[in-house]
Structure 1
């Protein structure tokens, strides 16, 4: 039946997050790394998610890559386009959520889209246009300390208004609770007033269902992965999507077990601490990485020794905000991050070549660096580990057997995520 949903994600973990929800709701899904080439052929997929590294890059580059991805998806007949960004809406006053959304709307010749970042099952909700993480406003949740895109305002209407020249509106909870017909009518009223971007209140799963019913016919929808769990049912009602048995079936995982973590989120710091209570780990220090190659060689030797014992091993640059700021003050924010990403990519490429077959990566930027270093182009999406994080499998590494890969957004996963991920892999 061809591609029903074509998605463009602004980072690699966000792409797998969305793909995970699509698979869990009956869509066969393939994730493509980077802007696809015309030679890329995708088989047996109801949805294709293009994973870009565009969240924190210059706006013009983000626009260029996103538009190129959209054109590729259009040529393959996608019924609807989904621009996926983080459920914490992290961005800067200059973008990239607003500029990319505007560019996609222009190319689609569409006059309006919705912004639905909420993912209630993971504690991301929106009320009166304000984003909450758990019971805390976004700017009090730890996101105010994000090393690249610190968020100091929870009012998404106000945040987005700084990124676009077009009017930004709101579908408040009383409208959403009135059902999809009332929600659709409110969107039409806003469109008649010239409102191009609409933040949508969402506090529970039923709100996501209502919104999916209201926006299924829009050329473009945007948001977090929560909306992705509700759209497949609407596609099925329209006859666009056939029933598929085991849409997320993967081959059994084999080979050594490795965790690479560059995220400094609170959730990941807890996961690192939990892993280290049971298994060995090596802490990467950006300041030492900047001195010479010996620190990276020490990390490689440590990982090899653990893998020879058939133990899962963790190599991490995750650190508390104070340590991160110290490294950034000496090296600069960009260089500190680049050193870590390059190191994690280097470790992954060597250790996968030497037999690692089960790999977990924490952090969007880190995941991008690792996937790029491994030369991966496409991944089949499998079963869920925790909400928002599936196992994937690919045959497109530079060499060697199939690789089972989990790309985890920094804020996602339970405290035992790193240890349990290997236990649930078939």
Structure 2
């Protein structure tokens, strides 16, 4: 294995694996830390952890265990992948995990770059934008677990990390890989937040990071990494999977709410609430049966408006409500797969992670891209999945995902 990657959730790990596979690297996504060595032909391994919203010390422990396994596979470089909207809190996990990985690898400088222009995420003057809005005005300020209220990634990282935080500005990035490499060399030790507005910026950053032991960022920065290992872009092979498709959405992002609304106008859709789950009003077996009896691509969702989410959190507690919904989605996924569902589509990082863990999937083969950052995945001969981050995907994502998983264009 050449490149070892650690993702803090399952959807983001799929996003990264997708980027590396399109770049020509033979890539496998592992769900959790493997117990056996990687296959000899694997060039890039992506370990998916459900560590984004857990306590920082737990996230550090899991990430270091993942690093140990990847080092045992002979990796030459390591990548810590987090969301392109930098999902965390001022007391969150990105800084502590980046610090711990850097210390373990004995490196004194790292890149911090969550940019993903293909999905509308850019970094300019150290500030993260979502399309034409600052991160704090994009809807992410309403995230139920990781509200992003400050778009300045330098301040956000400084609040979390014990290391100094610097900045490499856009004018240096526009000058190309050589200028970026020189700026990294000349910068004081610590984390360097790097501006990026275009895909070509990310390619240049990736090339400049050829000799860095550790890179941190969103999946976009991986655009420039495969070429460093002599890999070239190519089509990703895929055999479609027929059978029943089921979609589940636990994301409350603006993009996902729009996707839910559009899909519900064309396909069967059923909303669930934390109140109904916690009170026992919902019978899991009845919901699973309903999903399997529908035509088209039935959707089970809990994607509420921000005001509704705030009310639920006030009454039930954010962790209680989130855990109840995640568990219900996960158990429902296990039930419908047991009943013969062959295509599972999930929206939301926490929801997707809960579903993958409950299905006990050990590794996922990377297929073609459905929408930027979201690949088709094969779990085993009779089960394929699409795991979507909340803010990703076009308005018709659920229907498009079902078609790509089936092998239709």
Which interval holds the TM-score relative to the shorter structure? over 0.9
Provide the rounded CA distance (Å) in 2 between the counterparts of 1:322 and 1:264: 11
Q: Secondary structure at the match of 1:356?
A: coil
Match of 1:411 among 376, 385, 391: 391
TM score, norm. by length of structure 1: 0.93
Contact 2:110 2:191 survives alignment (8 Å)? yes
Provide the rounded CA distance (Å) in 2 between the counterparts of 1:412 and 1:44: 30
RMSD: 1.4
Tell me the equivalent position of 2:376. Answer: 391
After TM superposition, the structure 1 = structure 2 runs for residues 127-206 of structure 1, keeping only pairs within 5 Å, are 127-190=124-187, 193=188, 195-206=189-200
Aligned length in residues: 406
Q: In the alignment, is residue 46 of structure 1 matched against residue 43 of structure 2?
A: yes
Tell me the equivalent position of 1:366. Answer: 351
Q: Secondary structure at the match of 2:342?
A: strand
Match of 2:246 among 258, 264, 272: 258
Q: Deviations over 1:193-220 (max 9, x none)?
A: 3x31000000111211211111111000
Match of 1:290 among 274, 278, 286: 278
State the Cα distance separating 1:12 from its structure 2 match: 0.3
After TM superposition, the structure 1 = structure 2 runs for residues 8-407 of structure 1, keeping only pairs within 5 Å, are 8-37=6-35, 39-190=36-187, 193=188, 195-236=189-230, 241=231, 246=235, 248-292=236-280, 294-306=282-294, 309=295, 311-395=296-380, 401-407=381-387
Provide the rounded CA distance (Å) in 1 between the counterparts of 2:344 and 2:5: 24
Q: Secondary structure at the match of 2:160?
A: coil
Tell me the equivalent position of 2:3. Answer: 5
Provide the rounded CA distance (Å) in 2 between the counterparts of 1:33 and 1:224: 18
Provide the rounded CA distance (Å) in 1 between the counterparts of 2:402 and 2:280: 33
Q: Deviations over 1:87-146 (max 9, x none)?
A: 001211122111000100111111110011100111100000000000000000001000
Provide the rounded CA distance (Å) in 2 between the counterparts of 1:235 and 1:388: 22
Q: Secondary structure at the match of 1:379?
A: strand
TM score, norm. by length of structure 2: 0.96
Q: Deviations over 1:146-179 (max 9, x none)?
A: 0001011111111100111211000001111122
Contact 1:288 1:295 survives alignment (8 Å)? no
State the Cα distance separating 1:249 from its structure 2 match: 1.8
Q: Which runs of 5+ in 2 are unaligned?
A: none
